[in-house]
Amino acid sequence: MITADLQSTMQKYPEQKSEIKVNTDFIKGIIPPIVTTVTKNEKIDEKAFGNQIDFMIREGVDGILLFGSNGEFYMFDEQEMESVVKMAVRHVDGRVPVYLGVGAIRTSRCKRLAQMGVSNGVDGVSVLQPMFLKPTEEELKDHLTAIANCISTTPMLLYNNPGRTGYPMSQDLVEYLAHNIENIVGMKDSSGDMTQTTEFIRRNEDVNFKVMCGKDTLIYLGMCAGAVGAVCSTANFVPALVCSIYDKYVQGDYCGAQKAQNTLNPIRLQMDKSSFPVATKDYANILGLNVGEPILPSKVSPEPLMKGLRNCLVQNNIIPE
């Protein structure tokens, strides 16, 4: 069970990190959780997937995350996932880093998926805390450590998404892992709580822990707090706008970054009216990207909501009236 503030953060890291050094320089910028393109009969559409990769890279993204929440990882079996990983790594061809999202519940399956990604050339692995369960701190620590240890020379990012899993990763657990497990080098924080995000940054800045914002509406504020970038679903369909928030910020154009954020926010907030995660594909299809429909039981947004998405793009000068 542990706790008591994770046993005073495991007595302030009595275990020492190994001597293995993991490169983290590439972990930064805007990384879209790419939608998984499918045909009408729910088979992977390789051509559309390649087109989507090319579109986002051309528009300036700094990486590609396979099988994030918006990639519908929960809908695909391991064989399908491996085929997508192989295809993506081959198609990206080193232009940007490729990350693999791992969101299975069972530890052994997470390890298998992480190892599959690494063996096929991904640059990093992002691991969501198990959904549906509510593990103790000790169980979660052991789960994440086991996954990290099986890919010990590959960077692993934690993915904190309490809204989808029903519970958060605690500050004490993240601090312990960041200071003890050499290849747990950062995280995506989708809590939407800036106090949490800033504390993840503050408590781990001494080990160069890379925190990425997981809320598209908080990219600018995350950067102000010290985040190194963001993982953004909206970068699937308006990547140039999303990238401009990050790019302007790092160039010192803070007013320009905030203005771009203000343009993005109503587009992102309109998505919440649809069921999760269908609006990402809806927006992409409205813009002519032809990414296919969501996997059943998820469905394309009904026409009144589609009209709202279109109107939002018009109102924010993404498409003409």
pLDDT digits (tens, 9 = 90+) for 79-131: 999 999 999 999 999 999 999 999 999 999 999 999 999 999 999 999 999 99
DSSP string, 105-146: SSHHHHHHHHHHHHHTT-SEEEEEPPSS----HHHHHHHHHH
Instruction: Give the pLDDT mean for 52-77.
Output: 96
Instruction: Give the pLDDT mean for 204-217.
Output: 97
Task: Look at residue 20 in the predicted model and tell me its pLDDT.
Answer: 62
How far apart, in whole angstroms, are the C-alpha atoms of residue 42 and residue 33?
Answer: 19
Q: Considering only CA atoms, which of 46, 36, 118, 104 is closest in space to residue 72?
A: 36
Task: Look at residue 3 in the predicted model and tell me its pLDDT.
Answer: 61
Q: Considering only CA atoms, which of 154, 224, 232, 139 is closest in space to residue 188?
A: 232
How far apart, in whole angstroms, are the C-alpha atoms of residue 123 and residue 98?
Answer: 5
How far apart, in whole angstroms, are the C-alpha atoms of residue 221 and residue 198?
Answer: 10
Reply yes or no on whether the pLDDT at 15 is more than 70: no
- Read off the pLDDT band of 21 (50, 70, 90): confident
CA 108 to chain centre: 22
Reply yes or no on whether the pLDDT at 2 is more than 80: no
How is residue 84 written in tokens?
A: 């997508």
How far apart, in whole angstroms, are the C-alpha atoms of residue 195 and residue 303?
Answer: 38
Instruction: Give the pLDDT mean for 190-201.
Output: 97
Percent of the chain with pLDDT over 70: 94
- Read off the pLDDT band of 69 (50, 70, 90): very high
Longest distance between any two alpha carbons in the chain, whole Å:
62
How is residue 309 written in tokens?
A: 């998405």
How far apart, in whole angstroms, are the C-alpha atoms of residue 36 and residue 39?
Answer: 10
User: Could you confirm whether domain 24-239 is CATH 1.10.10.10?
Assistant: no
> Are residues 60 and 239 in contact, defined by beta-carbon separation less than 8 angstroms?
yes
Reply yes or no on whether the pLDDT at 171 is more than 60: yes
How far apart, in whole angstroms, are the C-alpha atoms of residue 284 and residue 290?
Answer: 7
Task: Look at residue 82 in the predicted model and tell me its pLDDT.
Answer: 98
CA angle 141, 147, 150 (to 5 degrees): 135
Q: How far is CA 2 from CA 46, 161, 172, 220, 316, in A?
A: 46, 22, 11, 36, 49
- Read off the pLDDT band of 12 (50, 70, 90): low
- Read off the pLDDT band of 18 (50, 70, 90): low
Instruction: Give the pLDDT mean for 292-311.
Output: 97
- Read off the pLDDT band of 10 (50, 70, 90): low
Instruction: Give the pLDDT mean for 136-149.
Output: 97
Reply yes or no on whether the pLDDT at 142 is more than 70: yes
Instruction: Give the pLDDT mean for 210-239.
Output: 98
Task: Look at residue 8 in the predicted model and tell me its pLDDT.
Answer: 54
Strand pairing of 98-102 and 64-66?
parallel
- Read off the pLDDT band of 307 (50, 70, 90): very high
Task: Look at residue 321 in the predicted model and tell me its pLDDT.
Answer: 85
> Are residues 95 and 73 in contact, defined by beta-carbon separation less than 8 angstroms?
no
